[in-house]
A = this chain, B = another copy of it.
Amino acid sequence: MTQKSPPVSVSRPELLDGDGRDQVFRALVYDLLSVGARMQEVRDNLAKIIGVTGPQYAILMAVAHMQNDVGGAGVRAVARRLHVSGPFITTQVNLLVKADLVGKFPNPEDGRGVILRLTDLGEARLAAIEPEIKIANDTFFGPLSATEFHALADLAARLEKSSELAVRPATD
């Protein structure tokens, strides 16, 4: 009986095992997907503590970090940052406004735009879970030395760029 082998998922020799198989590559893809799934899980746990959903927590963090940037945190900017559509940010932000965690202000420099900011309560809620955030992240990235951490940061930054090229025609 002939054993059909699944397609080899990569062709660059740098990414293949010595024998031309893709075991290491596939393990890497699996690990990256698992790590991504776990990041979301951790995020959901933190979100629950402050009474919001995972995506809402992601929006809160994005606003927290973008509100002091030049231009501030607009709906569209947050959407791009989180890789989701504009309308999704609109509806979720409206829920956060209702919960008094985020405020919406007209953008004085652009009559179409709004500026999103955390309310005092929003700031307080995030400050309150800082210990949990630190514990989670320290654990998540626990095995990394400073050197490895920087190596990973560098590799991830480069992948972030190259992956954009891979998206506009067709991984596993």
Residues of A bordering B, CB below 8 Å = 3-4, 6-15, 24-39, 41-43, 45-46, 49, 57-58, 61, 64-65, 68, 81, 83, 118, 123, 126-127, 129-130, 132-146, 148-153, 155-167, 169-172
- A64 near B6 with CB under 8 A, answer yes
Query: Once bound together, how far apart are the Cα atoms of A14 and B143, in whole Å?
Result: 10
Known: A31-B159, A140-B159, A156-B28. A149 touches B15 (CB 8 A): yes
- B152 near A45 with CB under 8 A, answer no
Query: Once bound together, how far apart are the Cα atoms of A9 and B139, in whole Å?
Result: 12
- A159 near B35 with CB under 8 A, answer yes
Query: Once bound together, how far apart are the Cα atoms of A126 and B167, in whole Å?
Result: 19
Instruction: Report the minimum CB–CB distance from A7 to chain B (whole Å).
Output: 4
